[in-house]
A = this chain, B = another copy of it.
Amino acid sequence: MSSKRQRTRLKILDSALRLLVERGYHGVGMEEVARDAGVSRQALYLHFQSKAELLVAMAQYNDEKINVPEFVRLKQETNTALEALDSGVQAYGVIEPQIYEVASIVYSARRSDEAAEAAWQDRLAFRRGNIRRVIERLDLEGRLAEGWTVDEATDFAWALLSMHTYEHLVVERGWPIEQFVGRLSLMLKKVIVAPREGVND
């Protein structure tokens, strides 16, 4: 059974998650989060050193709650790098909507907050690592397009598979997620994948 401390922590994180997503980092104070969680304001400082740390913990908490459907996870062990690329973009399309709200709060807080900046950089590095593995495999299979190094192609794909591409096309412009994923997938193949003679992938 979970300890009281853990339960309180979760109550706080749940409240913070809901309220901060609704009204943004500077739109909600510690007082209100505490009231919503049913604890005193001071209790928040017993669990988190500062508001910024609460934000970071909240982002972590949200990450842990992400639901990645079986069919996406299964595709992880794929035959070719090309399939891996496809399933990677697919996973991006599934994950991004679930983390976008929180990630964008962290992103906006990072300019005036070191903890948020560190959390953001962690996220960037993690994603870049995943992408790099796919690109390396692509290179190994001789399917990396001419004129690209592994590093460059990684940077490029990483920049395109970012929170902000999602924000621009899906959030701002209202693209359906399937269209979004489809276009990105096609585009990446056209640009960083070398064509195989006589075959359409």
> A interface vs B, CB < 8 Å?
23-27, 104-105, 107-112, 124, 152, 155-156, 158-160, 162, 164-165, 168-169, 172-173, 175, 183, 186-187, 190-191
Contact = CB atoms under 8 A, between A and B. Distances in A.
A55 to B, nearest CB: 12
A168 B111 CA distance: 15
In the complex this chain forms, how many copies of it are found?
A: 2
B183 A187 contact: no
Contacts of A165: 159-160, 164
17 contacts: A24-B111, A26-B111, A108-B109, A152-B183, A155-B173, A155-B175, A156-B169, A159-B165, A159-B168, A159-B173, A160-B160, A162-B168, A164-B164, A164-B168, A187-B187, A190-B191, A191-B191
Contacts of A173: 155, 159
B111 A25 contact: yes
Given A155-B168, A164-B165, A187-B187, 11 more contacts: A23-B112, A24-B111, A27-B111, A108-B110, A108-B112, A156-B183, A159-B169, A160-B160, A164-B168, A186-B191, A190-B191
Contacts of A172: 124
State the majority secondary structure of interface residues on A.
helix
Contacts of A24: 111-112
A183 B160 CA distance: 13
A168 B158 contact: yes
Nearest to A163: B164
Contacts of A152: 183
A35 to B, nearest CB: 19
B25 A112 contact: yes
A106 to B, nearest CB: 11
Given A155-B173, A162-B164, A108 B111 contact: yes
Contacts of A183: 152, 156
